[in-house]
Structure 1
């Protein structure tokens, strides 16, 4: 009963402080300021971590290294935020916990955001950073592409670009958390979960799409911006985590079905009763803690 009330209170708070404001027409800069401060409520666990700020292909990055690191893998992480929000700071607490739990080094990438840098600028900058990481001596077989929300879109888009070009070694795996993959917004859960998702809204997604695709001639179903319409053949092992209340639930489910149809190894994990990006609330909910442990199991299985 206590857990039920705690979840109800948190969802009500998120709907009031995050989802409702996301439906309003505030400027990207104001929203970024707000989100960076709102995410400060997440506690930072860094006793067993070291952090280092560097640049990679001119992009600011934060290298998060657990003192208990037990593998050679590197998670190349792209934060979410509807293509126009998010930063190193907004996702720092989540990535500290992910690094600590999986005992894996994480490179948190601060890529350029829309509307200042719409497609293809951000996508190209991320591609250049990936090539620079390999040039630095990191073996592609040790790189795990990862991201949440729009960052998951950019991670999968990068993987599909590498497959198409056939001139760069693919990463070892791809990890997608609450992925935003279809910019046509035709997934059924966009409507069916619109009242249940505590964190995001259709209006927020539409606003992000408008910023990201501004001044381009690309249709919303172009695989370069909606990777759900791409050919997934040859994709490395894939982890997908999503909450059952997420408006993007069907983006994740459709990706699972499409990947399995072309024999991609898929670990699809559905968390009942959870909203979009629920894993960032791992301090307070068992489902978030389990998502972390399941991420560790996926990496260990590689």
Structure 2
């Protein structure tokens, strides 16, 4: 059963945000329209402190418990179709994740397309991951997470880290990751009209902005990490909605990882909108958060 809150959110997204950005070819208009989502937040806990720090040349939002000396880090790569950001809603979710786990969360303000196309965002986030290791953070004390486009970047940076011989983090959590730029999953067709937030046309525009309009190999695993070699990756957890355009990115990632011996957990949520765990008003968001916290506790020693 889907909650009434989720039904209301789906209707709102379809009637306002999706309709207003459908077929848009203006990135600034898209950014303006997506600011509507950034209003769907409540205040964060009084136990949380926010700060900013430059890491590896990139300004990062930093979230952690007040007076905490934890060494455990959460590197969270925010979504936004590679071209926009919603810092309020993302930081609110990350705070709800960091507080019960006593994690020091790091959220890179990575460069956005089309002004800075691929691989600028990936290079930035990879450099920050490497900087954590270089500063003495143990890999088993790091959690990597991301949503949507951020899920693409998070997974791509781990594939690059493996190729370069860097150690893997303790685990990784991805919410509705963009993993297949070829759009070969059946959900790209089946859910073209049921997805509450994005149309296929908007997704293709964002893909082109991210790739800079070049004739790039869409099967490159730093662009479409679905086609990477997952051998040796850490445990993963995926959360995705059943009616999303990108549903099959998660289902195929989980299946391919399991085939390579990776401990991959997949949760498909009935009729949930894209990256629904970010919307704390939803009972389903609270339930997903509990599962994510339990998963991280299991792997973060």
Could you say whether these structures have the same fold, taking a TM-score greater than 0.5 normalized by the shorter chain as the test? yes
Shift of 1:67: 4.3
What corresponds to 1:257 in structure 2?
255
Kindly provide the CA deviation profile for residues 175-216 of structure 1, in whole angstroms up to 9, marking residues without a partner as x.
111111000011111111122221222122101110111154
Matches within 5 A, 1:99-118: 99-118=98-117
Count of residues in correspondence between the two structures: 299
Shift of 1:89: 3.6
Counterpart of 2:271 in 1: which secondary structure?
coil
Mapped partners of 2:274, 2:60: distance in 1: 25
What corresponds to 1:279 in structure 2?
277
What corresponds to 2:209 in structure 1?
211
Mapped partners of 2:279, 2:69: distance in 1: 25
- Equivalent residues of 2:70, 2:103 under 8 A apart: yes
TM-score (norm 1): 0.92
Counterpart of 1:179 in 2: which secondary structure?
coil
What corresponds to 1:80 in structure 2?
79
Mapped partners of 1:6, 1:130: distance in 2: 37
Matched, 1:52 2:51: yes
- Equivalent residues of 1:36, 1:89 under 8 A apart: no
Counterpart of 1:161 in 2: which secondary structure?
helix
Mapped partners of 1:219, 1:250: distance in 2: 20
Matched, 1:25 2:24: yes
What corresponds to 1:202 in structure 2?
200
Mapped partners of 2:217, 2:174: distance in 1: 23
- Of 36-45 and 120-129, more deviation after overlay is shown by 36-45
Mapped partners of 1:55, 1:287: distance in 2: 35
Mapped partners of 2:175, 2:69: distance in 1: 23
Mapped partners of 1:259, 1:232: distance in 2: 6
Matches within 5 A, 1:1-302: 4-67=3-66, 72-166=71-165, 168-282=166-280, 284-302=281-299
- Of 31-40 and 257-266, more deviation after overlay is shown by 31-40
TM-score (norm 2): 0.93
| Long gaps (5+) in structure 1 | none
Shift of 1:81: 0.9
CA RMSD of aligned residues (A): 2.0
Mapped partners of 2:69, 2:257: distance in 1: 29
- Equivalent residues of 2:38, 2:86 under 8 A apart: no
Mapped partners of 1:102, 1:272: distance in 2: 27
Kindly provide the CA deviation profile for residues 244-282 of structure 1, in whole angstroms up to 9, marking residues without a partner as x.
121111100000100000100112112222121111112
Counterpart of 2:87 in 1: which secondary structure?
coil
- Equivalent residues of 1:77, 1:106 under 8 A apart: yes
Structure scoring higher RCO (CA < 8 A, sep ≥ 6) equals 2
Mapped partners of 2:246, 2:108: distance in 1: 23
Mapped partners of 2:234, 2:129: distance in 1: 16
Counterpart of 2:145 in 1: which secondary structure?
strand
